[in-house]
Amino acid sequence: MTSVAKLFDYIVIGGGSGGLASARRAASYGAKVAVVESSGRLGGTCVNVGCVPKKVMFNGASIMEMIDDAKHYGITVGSRSFDWGFLKGARDAYVKRLNGIYERNLNKEGVEYVDGMASMLSNTEVKVDSAVLKANHILIASGGHPVIPKIEGAELGIDSDQFFELETQPKKVAVVGSGYIGIELAGIFHALGSDVTVFTRTSHILRHHDNIIGDTMLSEMKRQGIAFEHNSSVQALKRHDGAEYPLELSWTTASATQPSSAAYDCVLWAVGRTPNTRPLNLAAVPGVAVGKTGHIVADEFQNTGERGVYSLGDVFGKSELTPVAIAAGRHLADRLFGGERFANSKLDYANIPTVIFGHPTAGTIGLTEEQAKAKHGADAVKVYQTRFTNMFNALTPYKPPTAMKLIVTGAEERVVGLHIIGRGCDEMLQGFGVAIKMGATKRDFDNCVAIHPTSSEELVTMR
């Protein structure tokens, strides 16, 4: 017997940040909306295994660092101990509350939450288990998941999602990968007391960021005691039951004639992420193209090649950040359901600020120095930069650096890139992001009176 399709105006596949934002915005215009999510909990990567629980762990790690610094300010702290299980329990309870808030918000907005795996039947129909949903507009916002390397024993390691399932703190950790996820988790592990080694395929880290961030982060992490295996290629992972460190990781380097190996009790893969498209039956909508990286191809308005089908967020693959997906989702719902005044609504993907919650934190917006010179020509680009010690460390024996770079172009010296690393940079960037988005020039920065004593004043006093 053929199922009778349930009719909607808008079907959103994926209950992550972008999908939920788009669904709720559409509902606010009176659209009948369904959200399909297969994981059993709303919020997507960010809320469940990303930004939110990661920031909780980062906060705990930062507190441990503050405890270490306290004695230099004459403050005596009692026992320096850490209970991983306690923090995990509190963190998980917080995330569960957020899951509930998301579901209640959907109910308040009149959005139907459909728990199950979505499969496309056509550009207007979606199957979820035995039910068929139908709408003239379908958004694919199904997110992504971590990549596991194709090596012997890879299943013995964990990925960044499974980091949040750890019940106890590992003593000795190998983090394979030096993008922002690997660097953030390595910093958290180390600050909380684990022995950490980072494996990177090159001599650099954070290669997609300006070199002032990658180089400064690398030298500071090494100073803190994090080990690095540069130019390494992991080969295999084996388990030796009963050993204190039961996981044997082997790797090769360009300079070594023989493979190396070391033992750990946790090996974490942070080698990239890939979009969640496989279960969607995209063959039913031949106009939806998938690029070389597996991401769904869409234009600046989030339109795929199939009429009425849209894509955004991690499955789209452009600026894979939670606030980007939220903004893109709202713009799309405005355009589809908000009336004529939103007919051309779309997200501007230029100059999007983002932060790395490393130790130290870093922030970036706009072009790197290399990108700016490639786009505008080396002669048209001028770079202002500074390095200094944050006043917080005036009383500590170690002097971790704060580094800042402004990249400007043309005679008017319009700011096209800003890159900062050091204490407080995570909270510093947002306001400067507004200025750069508005087209600020170096003179605009200079004309702003500095706030003293702060690190951020250096951005308006550079010469």
Query: What positions carry a catalytic annotation?
Result: 452
Closest listed residue to residue 378, CA positions, set 407, 342, 419: 407
Tell me the one-letter amino acid at 397.
P
Q: Is the sign of the CA dihedral 177, 159, 62, 210 positive or negative?
A: positive
315 and 295 Cβ atoms separated by less than 8 Å: yes
Contacts of 243 (CB under 8 A, 6+ apart): 263
Contacts of 139 (CB under 8 A, 6+ apart): 10, 11, 12, 13, 14, 19, 22, 302, 309, 310, 311, 312, 329, 332
CA-derived radius of gyration, the chain: 24
Q: What letters, b where the CB count within 10 A reaches 16 and e where it falls short, cover 312-324?
A: bbbbbbbbbbbbb
70 and 77 Cβ atoms separated by less than 8 Å: yes
Compute the distance between CA of residue 126 and CA of residue 121 in angstroms, rounded to an integer.
5
In angstroms, the Cα distances linking 259 to 156, 203, 250, 255 are 19, 18, 7, 10
Which structure tokens are listed for 461? 């006093």
Name the β-bridge partners of 146: 273
Place of tokens 């505008």: 376
